[in-house]
Amino acid sequence: MYINLIQIAESFGVSEGVVEGWIRDEALPHTLDRGRLIFDRGQVVEWAVSRGLAAQAGFLAPESSVFATGCRLEPLLKTGGIWRGVAASEVAGILDRVVAALPAVTPPVVQMLSQRLRASGGVTWAPVGGGLALPHPSARIALGRGSGTLALLLLREALPMPVAGVDDVPVTQLFFFIAPSPRAHLDLLGRLSRLLSRGPLRELLGRGAGDEEIFAAISAADRMTSGGSNPGEKQ
């Protein structure tokens, strides 16, 4: 789906001149159509997340997203789990364990994913502000229906970010996800961004809510999103 220059500016809360500067200086993906700038929504979301603007990118995806795939967050989080008291040095190892627990994935694929995540630039960290980040594989992955995962890592110390955040709050909470398909990736990215930027989940995390409260909030978010009942992508 394509949107125009005015819509991009309004989505990010900046002037059209700032967007034009992003095109010139920051390689914002765009197309020139009969002298008019237009933007592919999915490409803009990816561009924004790669620059630590995941929260703003979430606003580009409407509640009934064109990328909606029927992925439910609660089953994905139960697959990946909630990890508490994690040291910064333990994050890479836990991501390996989350990948190893992916359902309906063969050992060679697990090994490939782990190698990709540990490679330089293999993870897009996507800080969203307030001490939160949405790390995910930088390369788009097609695992197929019934797979995918979402894990919440609650750190006991700040995790250094390879990219600048949207504020000065140290990152101590990570929602790591792997979607079953590139299309589902955009869907999950937009939904998680919205939940963490303006939903009750952010408040729960801020006050150290327990697992059951977090799962209940995720389940409520699923009920508010039109989609299917399977954890994988609808065909």
pLDDT tens by residue, 29-78: 999 888 889 988 878 877 876 665 654 554 555 444 434 556 899 999 99
Residues 197 and 96 in one domain: yes
Closest CA to 110 of 120, 118, 119, 99: 99
Task: Report yes or no on 64 lying in a domain.
Answer: no
Residues 219 and 121 in one domain: yes
Residues 28 and 97 in one domain: no
Predicted local confidence at residue 62, as pLDDT = 46
pLDDT bracket for residue 186 (50, 70, 90): confident
Task: Report yes or no on 214 lying in a domain.
Answer: yes
Q: Own/partner pairs for 137-143, CB < 8 Å, 24+ apart?
A: 137/113, 137/178, 140/182, 140/185, 141/113, 141/178, 141/179, 141/181, 141/182, 141/185, 142/180, 142/181, 142/182, 143/102, 143/104, 143/105, 143/109, 143/178, 143/179, 143/180, 143/181
Residue 24 structural domain: 2-51
- Judge whether residue 226 has pLDDT over 70: no
Task: Report yes or no on 57 lying in a domain.
Answer: no
Predicted local confidence at residue 167, as pLDDT = 79
120 versus 210: the higher-pLDDT residue is: 210
Residues 25 and 103 in one domain: no
Residues 149 and 106 in one domain: yes
Task: Report yes or no on 68 lying in a domain.
Answer: no
- pTM of the predicted protein model: 0.73
| 50 vs 85: CA distance, rounded Å | 27
Residues 20 and 91 in one domain: no
Residues 171 and 93 in one domain: yes
Predicted local confidence at residue 127, as pLDDT = 86
The chain-wide mean pLDDT, for the chain, equals: 83
Residues 79 and 186 in one domain: yes
Task: Report yes or no on 61 lying in a domain.
Answer: no
Residues 81 and 119 in one domain: yes
Predicted local confidence at residue 152, as pLDDT = 98
100 versus 52: the higher-pLDDT residue is: 100
Predicted local confidence at residue 66, as pLDDT = 39
Residues 95 and 207 in one domain: yes
Predicted local confidence at residue 231, as pLDDT = 42
Task: Report yes or no on 190 lying in a domain.
Answer: yes
Residues 44 and 90 in one domain: no
Predicted local confidence at residue 13, as pLDDT = 62
Using CB atoms within 10 A of its CB, is residue 207 exposed (0-12), middle (13-18) or buried (19+)? exposed
Task: Report yes or no on 235 lying in a domain.
Answer: no
Task: Report yes or no on 60 lying in a domain.
Answer: no
Predicted local confidence at residue 77, as pLDDT = 97
**Number of residues written out for the chain:** 235
Residues 206 and 164 in one domain: yes
Number of domains, the chain:
2
